[in-house]
Amino acid sequence: MTPMTANPSSAADNAAPDATADATAAQRDQALLFHSLHTAAAPLALANVWDAASARLVEQSGARAIATTSAGVAWGLGAADGGGLGRDEMLALTARIVAAVRVPVTADIEDGFGATAADVAGTVGDVIAAGAVGVNLEDGQQDGRRTGGSPLRPVAEQAGRLAAARAAADAAGIPLYINARVDTYLLGAGEPETRLQETLTRAAAYLAAGASGIFVPGVDDPLVIAALAELVGGPLNVTGGPGLPTVPELGKLGVARVSLGPAVAQAAYAVVRRAARDLAAQGGYTALTDVIPYPDLNTLMR
């Protein structure tokens, strides 16, 4: 009798689904972990990154998660923020950052890279495929800002885009953290006396559509921040920076997440400008007195 031999292709076919299932389970676990980090008792502090090196530096600092900055990503890839970066470039960079770190990664996908809710769903599916477990999705609209119309999408339209994002995440089997960005304060939309209520109205609609939390950048009044934290109905994310309350102070106001947005990238590029100007004008090197040693950075990237 001829002995039976294993079929290598059959073994490979069986292994592939198992590997996919394991990867999906690991990503699902990271997504659940990322959700759990949003608490006012210990706010999630995010120094937003724009490439693999900045991501590893932030992870090395003890950060519990990594968030990208669309502005920093765009600038680093030679584009302007606010619609200047291509969708495929964003996806490739997101995948590179996910591969560079062990902690959960959330991606800033601006307005979803598309005119329709279906476009947003497609982007979200691809961001999940890149390994991210969270996204930022904003309601500011570039066309309105360029033409002098409303800087914000209509509430129902944005809610539909968020619902499409949630459906795409559900289809992928990942409990994606969808951080719905409300740009009322950032863009100075509407009258100051109605801005808080407009923000709350939008927040309620976005959470009902499937958002996990609400991001209100540009708000700096502690009283307004406290009101938002109390009334939004979900985890609140605000931006931090010089002159604003510290992360622990924001936690006491009820904030669950604090982001630095493009500020870290801006600070890095400020060093480039200072060094270049000093070298060009004086032939000096004063901007280079506090650098990370080459061996440290090189070892970090191995």
Q: pLDDT tens, 188-225?
A: 999 999 999 999 999 999 999 999 999 999 999 999 99
> Strands 134-138, 177-181: parallel, antiparallel or unpaired by DSSP?
parallel
What are residue 168's DSSP bridge partners?
none
Say if residue 146's pLDDT is above 70: no
What pLDDT is stored for residue 90 in this prediction?
Answer: 98
8 A C-beta contact, residue 69 and residue 264: yes
Report pTM.
Answer: 0.92
Residue 205 vs residues 51, 122, 159: alpha-carbon distances, Å: 33, 22, 6
Measured in whole angstroms, the distance separating CA 109 from the mean position of its chain's CA atoms is: 7
8 A C-beta contact, residue 177 and residue 213: yes
The upper half-sphere exposure of residue 248, i.e. CA atoms within 13 Å in the direction of its Cβ, equals 0
What are residue 107's DSSP bridge partners?
135
Say if residue 45's pLDDT is above 50: yes
3-state secondary structure of 145: helix
Phi, psi torsion values for 44, nearest 5 degrees: -75, 120
Say if residue 2's pLDDT is above 60: no
Q: pLDDT digits over 229-283, tens only? A: 999 999 999 999 999 999 999 999 999 999 999 999 999 999 999 999 999 999 9
Say if residue 61's pLDDT is above 70: yes
Amino acid at 191: E
3-state secondary structure of 237: strand
What CA–CA distance (Å, rounded) separates 269 from 284?
18
The upper half-sphere exposure of residue 266, i.e. CA atoms within 13 Å in the direction of its Cβ, equals 9
**What is the residue whose two structure tokens read 């006012």?**
40
What CA–CA distance (Å, rounded) separates 89 from 27?
22
Report residue 149's pLDDT band, with 50, 70 and 90 as the boundaries. Answer: confident
Report residue 20's pLDDT band, with 50, 70 and 90 as the boundaries. Answer: confident
Say if residue 285's pLDDT is above 90: yes
Report DSSP state, residue 32. H
